[in-house]
Structure 1
Amino acid sequence: MKYILLVTLFCTTIVCSQNDGVIGAGLKNLTHDSAYTSGSWIRNFEDNSIDGSVYLFDEWNTKAIITTINDTNLSLQKLNYDIKSDSFSAKFSHDSVYVFNNSDIKEVILNSKRFIKLTSKNSFYECLAVGNNFKILKDYNIILTSGVKDPITQKESNSKYTQNNKYFFLNEDELINFKLKKKSILKLLKDKKDKIEVYVKNNKLSYNKEEDLIKLFNYYNTI
């Protein structure tokens, strides 16, 4: 497979892990087409006229495990999530990145974050919490705000990338959008509303903070 051959020229950190154990794979051994994902090389162009980045992490010093649709694990470094294109890219050189094909990927562990793919949308979501019959998902989105021209100096400020993320409650096949607000969250958890309110108050949690949201739903799963 031509993409795998390209990877072998640049990647020195890939390890192949299968259900029957972990296999240390040197680059010359990455030849089993069915076990790996396809992808493409693109130029890593940095536009100095735009502040911010389309990538989730500012630095590329990451560790990741990609699980393919064949349930094979690829362990590698320098992986990042491109929010704009909803894809995962590995940086093997200063001026180019390797973009993995989404259709070949089932799940990605990127540092401490776990991304799962909803096949109905062919899109990735970060999984924040998992319950007996639900998942709390984070959908990363990015907005490009155009620069503004100064009426006096006539100089235009840089455009800017900013994240505009959304949260979803996945219950069986139903995907429900909700906001980090008390009313929106309690509407989802109305069957245990009173206990949730007591838990939030006693533990001094906030409905507006993601880290507290995770604690809240983990508690909900126990009651």
Structure 2
Amino acid sequence: MRVSIIIIFLIVLTSGAQNLPAVDIVSESGFVVNDANSDLGIEGTVYLNENWDSVAEVITHDDKNYTVEAINYNVKLETFVVKSSEGKLLTLNKDRVKYIKYNSSIFEIINGKYLEQFSTGEVEIYKEYYLAIISGAIDPMTKDKLTNDKYDIKARYYHKEGNDIIEFKPTKKNIFNLFEKDKAGKVKTYIKKQNLSIRDEDDLKQILKYYSTL
């Protein structure tokens, strides 16, 4: 009988420990009421990824690490959302979070927003996701809706200059304005040799990584 009580106690204790990390870093008032991907009459999703099977590492300001399963980024709410084992959706507490490792990317909280690290090194660039709506087609005669509106996830870019985060468009001209003049020529040669394009995100990351080696 005594052994049974001990076993039951250990099971309860272990179960509580498994749930503790999520409870410790979610917002107390951060329940997401509507689990629908879109509002009525709007197609698409407000979430960055289709699947919820991503595992994220959450690092807090007091340098504690939590592994969180079933997580996604809600672009509309501009926050990460955790799905509990009971299926409830809760937002992470931004006051506790320092940064999140999510889908091979790192999201930092800067000026109260989650910004994805796009480039580190000599040139620091961040990416912010935001939600736009593409209007559906309208019959020119009756003015009736022919197709629904649709969510469109877009991105803004920022570069870090000292302690300032400045929004900019990653055009060829703007990118080269971030480079030192004596290194710009080497970058142009590298782009041409590797057949890269600044308009391609993967190519741009490669270009910025090369620049940091100069």
CA distance in 1, matches of 2:93, 2:58: 11
The TM-score, its normalising length taken from structure 2, stands at: 0.81
| Structure 2 partner of 1:158 | 148
**Conserved 8 A contact 1:128-1:138:** yes
Aligned length: 196
1: CA distance, partners of 2:153 / 2:168: 17
- Provide the identity percentage: 29
Larger-Rg structure: 2
Which among 104, 107, 126 is matched to residue 116 of structure 2? Answer: 126
* Mapped pair 1:50 → 2:38: no
CA contact (8 A) 1:178 1:185 kept: no
1:137-176 to 2 correspondence within 5 Å?
A: 137-151=126-140, 154-176=144-166
1:217 aligned residue: 208
Q: 2:55 aligns with which of 42, 56, 63?
A: 63
In 2, distance between residues paired with 1:82 and 1:210? 22
Cα deviation per residue 1:12-32 (whole Å; 9 max; x = unaligned)?
xxxxxxxxxxxxx94412558
Task: Find the aligned partners of 2:132 and 2:86 in 1 and give their Cα distance.
Answer: 25
The alpha carbon displacement at 1:96 in A equals 3.6
Q: Equivalents in 1 of 2:15, 2:211: separation in Å?
A: 46
Letter of the 1:172 counterpart: G
Structure 2: which amino acid aligns with 1:99? T
For structure 1, list consecutive stretches of 5 or more residues without a partner in the other structure: 1-24
- How much is the aligned-residue C-alpha RMSD, in angstroms? 2.6
- 1:28 is aligned, of 9, 13, 16, to 16
Shift of 1:185: 0.8
How far did residue 180 of structure 1 move?
2.9
User: Any idea what the Cα deviations from partners look like across 1:180-216, whole Å, max 9, x if unmatched?
Assistant: 3211111111432111111111111101011111111
What is the TM-score of this pair, normalised by structure 1?
0.78
CA contact (8 A) 1:35 1:72 kept: no
Task: List, as ranges, runs of 4+ consecutive aligned residues in structure 1 with deviation greater than 4 Å.
Answer: 30-35
1:108 corresponds in structure 2 to: 100
Q: Which residue in the other structure is 2:78 paired with? A: 86
Say whether residues 1:207 and 2:198 are aligned partners.
yes
User: Gapped runs of 5+ residues in structure 2?
Assistant: 1-12
